[in-house]
Amino acid sequence: QVQLVDTGGGSVQAGGSLRLSCAASGDTVNSYCMGWFRQAAGKEREGVASLYTGSSSGATYYRDFVKGRFTISQGDAKNSLYLQMNSLKPEDTAMYYCAAASPPCSISDYNVRLWPHWGQGTQVTVSS
């Protein structure tokens, strides 16, 4: 079983930056899909960015609305996941969740039912 703990949220002004972190424990998350989702008040949870852990190709996937602003990465020990968020906008305000899925999985499929492991969420608030 995989346990995820996500941290790093906060309140910033538009144009600011935040870095989210996710620590994985329990089963090894090698060759997993790991990603970040977000859920704004009154809206459905949506995928933001994802990658394959341990991938030599460094394959990542981003939703269009964060491309060029957000960067997903994994730690050297491969049990940490990060999301660097730059040029934040008020519409980025949401609860952000780290998620993981064991293989076979697809980093471009953000159907939440396909991602069984979730962090508790960390709030990001961007003011104008």
CB 33 within 8 A of CB 50: yes
| 55, pLDDT greater than 80 | no
SS3 content of the chain, % helix, strand, coil (to 5): 5, 50, 45
pLDDT tens-digit series, residues 70-107: 999 998 777 899 999 999 999 999 999 999 999 999 99
CB count, 10 Å around CB of 65?
A: 12
pLDDT of residue 76: 77
Hey, which residues does 94 pair with through a beta bridge? Answer: 124
Average pLDDT, the chain: 94
CB 10 within 8 A of CB 125: yes
